[in-house]
Amino acid sequence: MCGIIGYVGASTSGRGLDVALEALRRLQYRGYDSAGIVAANQDGLSHVKRAGKLEVLEAQLEAEPLPAASAVIGHTRWATHGGPTDVNAHPHLSEDGSVAVVHNGILENHAQLRRELTEAGVKFVSETDTEVAAHLLAHAYAAQGDLTDAMTSVVQRLEGAFTLLAVAADNPHVVVGARRTSPLVVGLGEGENFLGSDVAAFVAQTTSALELGQDQVATITPDSVTITDFDGNLAEAKPFTVDWDASAAVKGGFATFMDKEIHDEPNAVRDTLLGRTTGPGGALQLDELRIDESVLRSVDKIVVIACGTAAYAGHVAKYAIEHWCRVPVEVELAHEFRYRDPVVTEKTLVVAISQSGETMDTIMAVRHAREQGAKVVAVVNTMGSTIARESDAALYTHAGPEVAVASTKAFLAQIAATYLLGLYLAQLRGTMFADEVRTVLAELETMPAKIQSVIDGEGDIKALADSMRDVTSVLYLGRHVGFPVAMEGALKLKELAYIHAEGFAAGELKHGPIALIEDGQAVFVVVPSPRGRDVLHDKVLSNIQEIRARGARTLVVAEEGDTAVTEYADKVLWVPRTPTLLAPLVAVVPLQIFACALATAKGLDVDQPRNLAKSVTVE
């Protein structure tokens, strides 16, 4: 996720730069590891870009202002390809400086296009996928002489999810944007027009907007907006009026970042899978996993190290990776790992999971593991973070920035990424046939839509939370992959609603925790698919009956069609049918929505819960 802004005005002035900086300030929640701006006027293009937060760019502009401009494009980055450096920051210019582009998304075929351009003599300066678009656009612009035509021919060669904005040195009166899957909206002004990754980019200037459809190109000048499709034909865009205030716009119209980020979960999973599921011959490819294949084949143990929600993602992954790879997987809390003198050798593969990539407990555990000779793969959401840099390889989740302190979309993305890692290892080690891997990948690719269907039913879950606003204790039960989901559901309620909540393995109940059950005790039960493994489902059904017989209020998360649960449930939260190992990707969503809604009903600060920090950078 990145924030982008495009502006074109009737005169050459400082307004474009002011508008762009204001937009980038509002768009920082979409990415903040680097930022840049291009100014276009009759003298051509001038640009500045810097790694670091926006204030680094602002300081640079203070010291060396860009010239007055009639067209401006700007970008605040959440790195996906190429670390957060000055060179990798956007904008990216063509070799001859004739065009500049900013980009939000992932160009899946960038490697192949980079090879073609390099063979044609183009000299790349950055590690990004975006630079490919700058060079392609320059070649097309030189041949066609029109920026819209050039953009139209370039986007036909791109694969993946992208929003591109471009400006040309010899025409400072037009900005052209194009979108496929990544967002782009048009802001309509008086003698000026805007393009933005969302309305937060220009809501301070205008509330009159156009929503672009899939595969559309928008050409804006000071007094015109033209929409075409990727074949160059005129197309329609839906007008709308932004009814959010500026702060709501930053949250995409949602009341809290947490609510926004839960709604972003389908994209977080989709983007994490993007460009990784099929390589040559349909095999799974993980280019970024730069560890020698022979080393990966020799691995005799996998140790996941993480904290909090990331650790629960690791626990979910354990079930899948052991099933697929037939290698023992231990999941260790990072802060316990290095103090217990773990057995780690050069045949141990350590997987460090972290949203921030800066959790000190996990950093120290990574260092310890490497000192013991283990190879370390980081599964992190923040490009260029310490854990990524100190590991042997990094497999990034592409969840985009997670602003709310309590982790939601990153959890799902971590499961998706560790599943890709497990499938890749199984493919490499031969413990799964290629067609088996492809079957699971195909199932994974259906998950964003299934997650969306759970989110679409959030009203029912929010009503349940509202009715329980005075609850003082909630228990969570799960079995198999549902057990870490129960643990994560309890953590969400603790950290958001400050309520005692505890997760248990359902089978553990009769070994003590059942003493907690009394009349009216609320208990969430995550029920596995009745079509899944062995008798998991029936055993959990027995657990529900055990607690119900003792007065529990049973709140059951079950898959659609599993009518066996209804007679024992006070409330059923239905989720779409999924294979057993993929169920956590939908089963956790009602628990996240419930915790967020209950905290909201209690009037608590959902995004910044008391006592917590987004990244715990102390041991």
Q: Which residues bind ligand AGP (CB under 6 A)?
A: 307-310, 354-356, 359, 362, 405-407, 495, 615-616
**Is the preceding omega at residue 91 within 30 degrees of 0, hence cis?**
yes
Q: Which is nearer to ligand AGP, 310 or 416 (CB)?
A: 310
Catalytic residue among 2, 307, 325, 596: 2
Catalytic residue among 301, 539, 571, 614: 614
CB 382 → ligand AGP: shortest distance, Å?
8
CA distances from 169 to 21, 66, 582 (A): 21, 15, 49
CB 619 → ligand AGP: shortest distance, Å?
12
Closest by alpha carbon to 322, among 561, 581, 96, 6?
581
User: Does the CA dihedral 487-488-494-495 come out positive or negative?
Assistant: positive
> HSE of 449 in the Cβ direction (CA atoms, 13 Å)?
7
Q: Catalogue the E-assigned strands of 108-191.
A: 160-168, 171-180, 185-188
Please give the structure tokens belonging to residue 592: 């996240």
CB 381 → ligand AGP: shortest distance, Å?
8
Q: Which is nearer to ligand AGP, 359 or 578 (CB)?
A: 359
Contacts 24+ apart (CB under 8 A), 537-546: 537/562, 537/564, 539/479, 539/506, 539/507, 540/477, 540/478, 540/479, 540/482, 540/506, 541/565, 541/568, 543/477, 543/479, 543/506, 543/507, 543/509, 544/568, 544/569, 546/509, 546/510, 546/514
Closest by alpha carbon to 408, among 604, 161, 197, 585?
585
Cite the DSSP H helix spans in 475-558. 482-497, 536-548
Q: Which is nearer to ligand AGP, 277 or 355 (CB)?
A: 355
**Helix 265-273 vs helix 409-429: crossing angle, to nearest 10:** 20
Q: Which is nearer to ligand AGP, 98 or 354 (CB)?
A: 354
Q: Which is nearer to ligand AGP, 198 or 264 (CB)?
A: 264
353 neighbors 363 (Cβ within 8 angstroms): no
> Any catalytic annotation for residue 614?
yes
Report the C-alpha gap between 503 and 491 in whole angstroms: 8
- What's the length of the chain? 619
CB 306 → ligand AGP: shortest distance, Å?
6
CB 602 → ligand AGP: shortest distance, Å?
18
Q: Which is nearer to ligand AGP, 197 or 362 (CB)?
A: 362
64 neighbors 57 (Cβ within 8 angstroms): no
Report the C-alpha gap between 184 and 196 in whole angstroms: 6
Q: Which is nearer to ligand AGP, 172 or 308 (CB)?
A: 308
3-state secondary structure of 46: strand
Q: Which is nearer to ligand AGP, 41 or 356 (CB)?
A: 356
CB 404 → ligand AGP: shortest distance, Å?
8
Q: Which is nearer to ligand AGP, 562 or 607 (CB)?
A: 607
Report the C-alpha gap between 571 and 120 in whole angstroms: 63
> Any catalytic annotation for residue 2?
yes
Residue nearest to ligand AGP (CB): 308
CB 262 → ligand AGP: shortest distance, Å?
12
- φ, ψ (nearest 5 deg) of residue 616: -90, 95
Beta partners for residue 476, in sequence order: 503, 524
How many of the other CB atoms lie within 10 Å of CB of 472? 7
CB 387 → ligand AGP: shortest distance, Å?
8
CB 365 → ligand AGP: shortest distance, Å?
11
> Who's near 518: CB < 8 A, 6+ residues apart?
550, 551
Q: Which is nearer to ligand AGP, 226 or 608 (CB)?
A: 608
Q: Which is nearer to ligand AGP, 413 or 569 (CB)?
A: 413
Q: Catalogue the E-assigned strands of 68-130.
A: 69-77, 92-93, 99-107
How many of the other CB atoms lie within 10 Å of CB of 510? 12
CB 310 → ligand AGP: shortest distance, Å?
4
How many of the other CB atoms lie within 10 Å of CB of 434? 13
CB 50 → ligand AGP: shortest distance, Å?
25
Please give the structure tokens belonging to residue 411: 């959890």
428 neighbors 564 (Cβ within 8 angstroms): no
CB 480 → ligand AGP: shortest distance, Å?
22
Report the C-alpha gap between 389 and 532 in whole angstroms: 39
Helix or strand (DSSP H, E) at 379:
strand 375-380
Give 228-253 as a DSSP string. EETTS-B---EEEE--S-HHHHHTTT
Q: Which is nearer to ligand AGP, 431 or 615 (CB)?
A: 615
Report the C-alpha gap between 376 and 353 in whole angstroms: 10
* Residues that are catalytic: 2, 614
